[in-house]
Chain A
Amino acid sequence: MNKDKYKKIGIATFFVLLLAFPIARKYWNRYEENYSAEARHSQILKRYGFYIQNVAQQVGINFKHHPPKLDPKLNNIMPIVADMGASVAVADFNQDGWPDLYFTNSEIGTNNALYENMGNGKFKDVASDMGVAAINTANGGTSMGAVWGDYDNDNYPDLFVYKWGKSMLFHNDKGKGFTNVSNELPLPKWMNANTAIWFDYNNDGKLDLFIGGYYQKDINLWHLKNTRIMPNSFEYAKNGGRNYLFENLGHGHFKDVTKKMGLLDYRWTLAASAADINHDGYQDLILANDYGVDQVFINEKGKSFKDIGSTSRIGFAPKSGMNVTLGDVLNQGHLDIYITNISQPGILIQGNNLWMPQLGKEKNDLSYHNLAEDLGIELGGWSWGAQFGDFNNDGHLDLYVANGYVSGKRKGNSYWYDYSKIAVGNNSIINDAQNWPQMKGKSLSGHERNKLWINNGSGGFEEVGKAVGGKEVYDSRAVALADLWNDGALDIIVANQNGPVMVYKNTVGPDRHWIGFKLIGMKSNRSGIGAEATLYWKHHIQTQIVTGGNGFCSENQRRLYFGLDKDTTIDSLVIQWPSGIHQVLDGPVADQYHQVIETK
């Protein structure tokens, strides 16, 4: 054999090895997945430290979400347009120490539900009795989500329901009922809102309200003038709904300060979260926008907001932002930002993003790196809500991500081909819903399982959702976390579009410890929203924040919850209140909840 032949054989072998690499990688991943699935039958608790069970029916929560039935002109793509509205918000509305749950519905004539936690492991829907059930009407529009915040500092969280229609504010009458006080908010007659959060942007001790718009505010989706309602770009759309910032003036009055504060914008906003990311004492605002870049608004001492999305890298590349959630993923004493997007193998892989601040640059020139891939929490699916929480009490934050867009009747019948045709089109084509191909019952990233990633504490996550009991598959939207049974385990509540809610009761191994804190503001807002608490224990540090809405159409329990692993000796909890007050709690006792009142 001559030299040339050896060369040819060598190069041909090299070529075959190149082609074999992705195949081998795929099979290796499948092997690892099967290996994890087998563990379900043996020692889940020993291996993962916890397991979850969907107990919604057993505990009396039988709520099912119904999507809106919109103008028949949208029939060709109705499931895509009527694709949101399933939400969950946690609050102890009657201040009895047990977290309650509020779910929204989206079809005209359906009721929202307020499940009171009876404290005996059961829940009871009291929404009708409380006056917050029958609010989905032809004239007023239907609910997209809700968020709790004690805007008048009377200790009882009030309820804001954002809608495709006329959004509503309810005052909590000391846990005995709710009064509709929507007229106190200078809301437009109609808006198509898909996110809202409470936060105190000017540190005056009163909660202000941010609302993010999705479809243009003048569009009534039940009675369309024309079908030119869709985004004018899949990546750079600016024809979405208007955002609003309402300043709380006190005595139940609010003022629209959106334009004054530099927040007037018309992107397709789906999620918002607030935190003092540059440590200047004021809450900044992070927005996840569909069909475009995400935004990071730095709060300039309560005088205005400045968008640094592009320079911070968070808002540089346009994706499909669905969710913003915050968590100290690597126990470094600062908050990282997790934003979900779309990933469909072989078609569109945007990947979810975990934005970690470049240390040393927090104050000036904020810059972030996306470490989702490095940590293994990048590929979810068509991802919506996500929340960080320590599910196995090992002292590291884990992650739950809701997935799935539209599930058709037949699993293999996909709309992705049709969707990809229209998605690349010129804006004059895609903007008109009539140009979109018929869905005809097809799926679009449907039948996707939610992801539950546990944090190994060494810079990596492992997906264990199915193995620990999360086997249900729906088109999930919102996720909220709360210790519903006050038993030292974070439970997971999932609101599904056009489906029943899931309440995953969490059981944690007995050798794992925990501690929880309920923060009560005095100079700061009473809910303590915006307070950042850092726990120090046995060479560990972890920072958490009290939020007034977080994730996608969701709100966690207000209490902060820390897993401690096997250590029960806690050094201290350091709280930075929005008022600027710095408070230290020395040696709190593990395995119980503590109430912390802001010092004067």
Chain B
Amino acid sequence: MSENTIVNSLKRWIPIYTDKRYIAPIFITLILIAAELSFGILEGYPKLATAILASLGTELILGKIVTGKWRNLASAYVSGISVAILIRSPMIWPYALCSIIAITTKYVLRYKGRHIWNPSNFGVVALLLLASDSVAVLSIQWGNNVWPMLVIWVLGFIIVWRVNRLHISTVYIVSFLFFSLFRSWMTGNPFLGEVAPITGPMYQLFIFFMITDPKTTVSSKWGQYVVPFAIAAVEMVLRLAFHAVYAPFYALFIVGPIAMVIEIKWNEYMEKREIKPAAS
């Protein structure tokens, strides 16, 4: 059997081999498995199961009600795992609630037919704002070692490059480093102290999964350079003005939908401009 024949067989029987929708779920599953085996981040499986099942269940039910079809569950699976990794609570209910809120936003908070908030970002921010007495976000649970960090960074870069999102992550990282320098100059705190957060797991998930989400990022190339820069800028303001511990989530929560609405409006405007001369 030739190599091509093997690949063709794989493509036929394993659709995820070529379907980009499955790259993120596979990658996040690998991260989860590695983190659980090495660091035990989940503190047991009920919370993981709750987050994923709530996410999948909500997607199935709301998808069926709204569209009349059973939706592909890859995106909901990523949301569920993201919630399980990001949310830290000794209780079970925040995991279910966060997942359900995240998926529901896809059907409720829509503008011109598109959902404009990253689902898990909205879910996490909603719980941070509304249930701060019961919920925190992943911060220090993956150790502080160099090698696991490097592995995740390298894998992350490969994945975002594979899905044509490398520039988004890169712009954000460069912007963050620049603003860290600025914050250090402003506050007098050590530069390394300001850079430290981006070396942690919260940022790894944020950079590789949230700000690159195809459904909730702008589609124009220039927009994909401007938006991550804007997120980093707003994050800096939130850090300096409000000492927000989870500033990146809040920044994406603010900038993401605004960028989406601007792009939709801009596209409408351009379409009208193109139609008018044609009509005249």
Question: Are B104 and A346 touching (Cβ within 8 A)?
Answer: no
Assess the B101–A18 pair: CB atoms within 8 A: yes
Establish whether residues A379 and B145, one from each chain, have CB atoms under 8 Å apart when the complex forms: no
Known A-B contacts A19-B126, A438-B188; A421 and B62 likewise in contact (beta carbons under 8 Å): no
Question: Are B89 and A424 interface neighbours, CB within 8 A?
Answer: no
Residue of B nearest to A425 (CB): B196
Contact B104 A235 (CB under 8 A): no
B193-A421 in contact (CB<8A) = yes
Q: By the criterion CB–CB under 8 Å, are B187 and A437 in contact?
A: yes
The stretch of B6-14, B76-84, B127-135, B223-231 in contact with A is B127-135
* Chain B residue, CB-CB nearest to A29: B133
Q: Which of A6-14, A256-264, A384-392 contacts B (4 or more CB under 8 A)?
A: A6-14
What distance in Å separates the Cβ of A375 from its nearest Cβ neighbour in chain B? Answer: 12
**In the complex with contacts A12-B108, A346-B128, A420-B245, A372-B90 CB distance below 8 A:** yes
- Specify which chain B residues have a CB less than 8 angstroms from the CB of A424 in the assembled complex: 139-140, 144, 196-197, 199-203
Mark interface residues in A10-43 (1 if CB within 8 Å of B CB, else 0).
1110110011011101100100000000000000
**Residues A437 and B190 in contact, CB atoms below 8 Å apart:** yes
Q: Which residue of B lies closest to A16 (CB)?
A: B108
Per-residue contact bits, chain B 171-202, to A (CB 8 Å; 1 contact, 0 not) = 00000000000000001111011111101111
A232 interface residue (CB < 8 Å to B): yes
In the complex the two chains form, is A345's CB within 8 Å of B144's CB?
no
**Which chain B residue lies CB-closest to A21?**
B97
* In contact, B66 and A7 (Cβ under 8 angstroms): yes
Contact of B196 among A11, A233, A236, A429 (CB under 8 A): A429
**Cβ–Cβ contact B199 & A426, under 8 A:** yes
Residue from B104, B140, B195 having most chain A Cβ neighbours under 10 A? B140
Q: With contacts defined as CB atoms under 8 Å apart, how many contacts are there between chain A and chain B in the complex?
A: 160
Q: Is B140 a contact of A11 with CB atoms below 8 Å?
A: no
- Residues A349 and B100 in contact in the complex (CB < 8 Å), given A427-B144, A430-B196: no
A569, CB-defined interface residue at 8 Å: no
Bound state CA distance, A271 and B256, in angstroms? 46
A19-B101, A232-B144, A414-B243 given; A421·B196 CB < 8 A = yes
A7–B149 Cα distance when bound, in Å, is 45
CB distance from A92 to the nearest CB of B (A): 40
User: Quick check: A11 and B145 within 8 Å, CB to CB?
Assistant: no
Given A25-B131, A437-B187: A420 in contact with B104 (beta carbons within 8 A): no
Interface of chain A residues 394 through 441 with chain B (CB within 8 A):
414, 416-418, 420-430, 434-438
B27-41 residues at the A interface, CB under 8 angstroms = 39-41
Q: Complex Cα distance A436/B91, Å?
A: 32
Residues of A within 8 A of B278 (CB): none
Residues of A within 8 A of B41 (CB): 317
Partner of B39, one of A236, A345, A435: A236
Q: A18-B104, A23-B130, A378-B90 are in contact. Are A427 and B97 (CB under 8 A)?
A: no
B157 proximity list for chain A (CB < 8 A): none
Q: Tell whether, in the assembled complex, residue A18 and residue B140 are in contact, meaning their CB atoms are under 8 Å apart.
A: no
Residues on B with C-beta less than 8 A from A19 are 101, 126, 130
**Which chain B residues (84-109) contact chain A, with CB distance < 8 Å?**
88-91, 94, 97, 100-101, 104-105, 107-108
State how many angstroms separate the Cβ of A379 from the closest Cβ of chain B: 7
**Chain A neighbourhood of B91, CB < 8 A:** 373
From known contacts A19-B101, A347-B136, A430-B196, infer whether A26 and B39 are also in contact, taking CB-CB under 8 Å: no
Nearest-Cβ distance from residue B207 to partner chain A, whole angstroms: 13
Could you say which residues of chain A place their CB within 8 Å of the CB of B262?
Answer: none
Q: B143 contacts the other chain (Cβ, under 8 Å)?
A: yes
Q: With contacts A11-B62, A234-B140, A236-B145 known, is A22 near B134, CB below 8 A?
A: yes
The answer to whether B135 touches A349, judged by C-beta atoms less than 8 angstroms apart, is: yes
A234 and B131 alpha carbons, distance in the complex (Å): 25
A236, B143: Cβ atoms under 8 Å?
yes
Q: Is the CB of B144 within 8 A of A11?
A: no
Q: Which of A10, A233, A420, A435 contacts B192 (CB 8 A)?
A: A435
Q: Most A CB atoms within 10 A — which of B187, B192, B193, B239?
A: B193
Report whether A422 and B127 are in contact in the complex, using a CB–CB cutoff of 8 Å.
no
With beta carbons under 8 angstroms apart, the residue of B94, B97, B134, B140 that contacts A423 is B140
Size category of the A interface is 35 or more
Q: Convert B28-70 into 0s and 1s, putting 1 for each residue whose CB lies closer than 8 angstroms to a CB of A.
A: 0000000000011101000000000000000000100110000
Closest to B140 in A: A234
Closest B-chain residue to A20, C-beta based? B130
Is residue A318 within 8 Å, beta carbon to beta carbon, of the partner chain? yes
Instruction: Tell whether, in the assembled complex, residue A18 and residue B100 are in contact, meaning their CB atoms are under 8 Å apart.
Output: yes
Task: Tell whether B279 is near chain A: CB-to-CB under 8 Å.
Answer: no
With contacts A19-B101, A23-B130, A422-B193 known, is A349 near B136, CB below 8 A? yes
- How distant is A482 from chain B, measured CB to nearest CB, in Å? 32
- Complex Cα distance, B69 from A141, in Å, reads 72
> In the complex, what distance in Å separates the CA atom of A23 from the CA atom of B131?
7
Interface residues on B, range: 35 or more
**A434, B105: Cα distance in complex, Å:** 44
Indicate if B26 sits at the interface (CB-CB under 8 A): no
Q: How far is the CA of A347 from the CA of B137 in the complex (A)?
A: 7
User: B141 at the A/B interface (Cβ < 8 Å)?
Assistant: yes
B-contacting residues, A128-167, CB 8 Å:
none
Are A420 and B139 in touch, CB under 8 angstroms? yes
Counting chain B CB atoms within 10 Å of each CB, the highest count among A232, A378, A437 belongs to A437
CA distance A344 to B245 in the complex (A): 12
Shortest Cβ distance from B194 into A: residue: A421
Q: Does B22 interact with chain A (Cβ within 8 Å)?
A: no
Asked if B144 and A235 make an inter-chain contact with CB atoms under 8 angstroms apart, the answer reads yes
> B158 near A: Cβ within 8 Å?
no
A434 to B190, Cβ gap below 8 A?
yes
Q: Chain A residues near B142 (CB, 8 Å)?
A: 235
Interface residues in B110-165 (C-beta closer than 8 Å to A): 126-128, 130-136, 139-146, 149
A548 at the binding interface (Cβ < 8 Å): no
Complex Cα–Cα for A12 and B201 (A):
33
B244 on the A face (CB < 8 A): yes
A351 within 8 A of B: yes
Given contacts A11-B108, A429-B199, A437-B187, contact A347 B245 (CB under 8 A): yes
Q: Does A59 contact B (CB under 8 A)?
A: no
Question: Chain A nearest CB: distance from B136 CB in Å?
Answer: 5
A235 touches B140 (CB 8 A): yes
Nearest B-chain residue to A427, judged by Cβ = B144
A351–B94 alpha-carbon span in the complex (Å):
15
**Complex alpha-carbon distance, A426 and B152, angstroms:** 13
CB of A48 to closest CB in B, whole Å: 24
Closest CB of chain B to A208's CB: distance in Å? 32
Give Cα distance in the complex from A112 to B143, angstroms.
Answer: 38
Verify if A348 is at the interface (C-beta below 8 Å from B).
Answer: yes
A348/B131 contact (C-beta < 8 A), A232-B144, A430-B144 known: no
Q: Which of A313-327 contact B (CB under 8 A)?
A: 316-318
- Bound-state CA distance A349–B142 (Å) is 15
Please tell me if the beta carbons of A345 and B132 are within 8 angstroms of each other in the complex. yes
State A517–B65 Cα separation when bound (angstroms): 68
Residue of A nearest to B201 (CB): A424
Q: How far is the CA of A545 from the CA of B89 in the complex (A)?
A: 33
The answer to whether B143 touches A235, judged by C-beta atoms less than 8 angstroms apart, is: yes
- On whether the beta carbons of A235 and B190 are closer than 8 Å, the reply is no
Residues on A facing B (Cβ under 8 Å): 7, 10-12, 14-15, 18-19, 21-23, 25-26, 29, 232-236, 316-318, 344-351, 372-373, 378-379, 414, 416-418, 420-430, 434-438
Besides A232-B144, A317-B41, 19 new A-B residue pairs in contact (Cβ under 8 A), listed by A number: A14-B104, A15-B105, A18-B97, A19-B126, A25-B131, A235-B141, A318-B141, A344-B136, A346-B132, A348-B139, A417-B244, A417-B245, A418-B193, A421-B193, A422-B193, A422-B196, A435-B190, A437-B189, A437-B190
Would you mind naming 12 contact pairs between A and B with Cβ atoms under 8 Å apart?
A15-B104, A18-B104, A29-B133, A318-B143, A345-B134, A349-B89, A420-B245, A424-B139, A424-B203, A425-B199, A430-B144, A438-B189
For the complex of A and B, list the 6 residue pairs with the smallest distance between their C-beta atoms, beginning with the closest.
Answer: A425-B196, A424-B200, A346-B132, A22-B131, A417-B243, A351-B90
